[in-house]
């Protein structure tokens, strides 16, 4: 069952993890570099969640690389359960953060340029879009691993 | 495996469905009665999603009641898969709607009474809280049913 596509220690899992790390880094950078994100609670929430998702995805990507190169296929359900719970929690938090950011950006955009200059609004929107992509890949990882646990 | 707690056609599942219907109705009423919710995209989104969640939960609650009283335990994986997918989609949408509503309410509250009179703000907050509770119960139903499918 270790060969389930997308589950931990496969090349599909590595691709998902790299995608998560990439999109969450992009979301964090679009939101935090040269933008006063700390004026809005939702934007601070997004920055915190993306700041948690980046080390989580990177660590699991390194773990996948190690497992693929050493062909080491450990069967430890406890680790799988921890990974699935971590993925689940981060996926839910990143969906909440992305939705919150998108809704606040929409409200600011409709309030006019005094609240949201076009340069900033575009970056907020890009950041929310990257967070949604990151969430999608995290859910995919989580589902593949949950399926693997259930079929033990 | 039909006896999995919380899975379709058990009394635990019926309780979860009734809770979902109750909280989503409360969320819809707090948001829509005597409040101009259509001025904000996030609030419209919440009303639409709660409007979808109420008939979904009520139908499945009726299905549970019928199964419990007639002691009819059909084994049809196709129905289970449809229920799990429906629960999943509605759970994700209700989390997104609840987060969006909460973030916009927070922004309006911090903008001062001109944008959000205390009477309205309290109702927005209550509506978001009810939507979060409804989401939590939908996720629980979805997980129990997913576990049942995986263990077929």
Q: Give the one of B45, B103, B110 whose C-beta lies nearest to A100's C-beta.
A: B103
Whether ipTM tops 0.90, in short, is: no
Are A147 and B151 an interchain contact pair (Cβ–Cβ within 8 Å)? Answer: no
Q: How far is the alpha carbon of A70 from chain B, nearest alpha carbon, in Å?
A: 30
The Cα A82–Cα B80 span in angstroms is: 27
List pLDDT tens digits, range A42-79.
999 999 999 999 999 999 999 888 888 887 765 677 88
> DSSP letter string over A1-49?
-TT-TTSTTSHHHHHHHHHHHHHHHHHHHHHHTTS-GGGSHHHHHHHHH
Q: Which helix (H) or strand (E) holds B65?
A: helix B41-70
> CA distances (Å), A151 to each of A12, B77, B80, in order?
19, 16, 17
Q: What is the pTM of this model?
A: 0.86
List pLDDT tens digits, range B28-45.
999 888 777 788 889 999
Are B96 and A95 an interchain contact pair (Cβ–Cβ within 8 Å)? Answer: yes
Test mutation, A103, A128, A136, chain B, max B CBs within 10 A: A103
Please name the residue of chain B whose CA is at the shortest distance from the CA of residue A152.
Answer: B151
List pLDDT tens digits, range A103-139.
999 988 887 777 777 778 888 999 999 999 999 999 9
Q: Give the one of B41, B45, B151 whose C-beta lies nearest to A150's C-beta.
A: B151
Whether the CB of B113 is below 8 Å from some CB of chain A: the reply is: no
């Amino acid at each position: 069952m270790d060969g389930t596509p997308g589950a931990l220690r496969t090349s599909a899992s590595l691709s998902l993890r790299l995608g998560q790390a990439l999109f969450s880094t992009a979301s964090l950078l679009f939101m935090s570099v040269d933008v006063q994100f700390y004026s809005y609670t939702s934007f601070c929430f997004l920055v915190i969640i993306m700041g948690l998702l980046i080390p989580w995805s990177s660590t699991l990507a390194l773990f996948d690389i190690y497992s693929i190169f050493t062909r080491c296929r450990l069967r430890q359900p406890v680790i799988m359960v921890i990974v699935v719970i971590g993925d689940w929690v981060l996926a839910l938090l990143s969906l909440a953060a992305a939705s919150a950011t998108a809704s606040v950006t929409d409200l600011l955009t409709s309030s006019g340029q005094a609240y949201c200059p076009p340069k900033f609004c575009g970056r907020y929107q890009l950041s929310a879009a990257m967070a949604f992509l990151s969430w999608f890949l995290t859910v995919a990882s989580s589902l593949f691993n949950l399926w693997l646990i259930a079929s033990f």
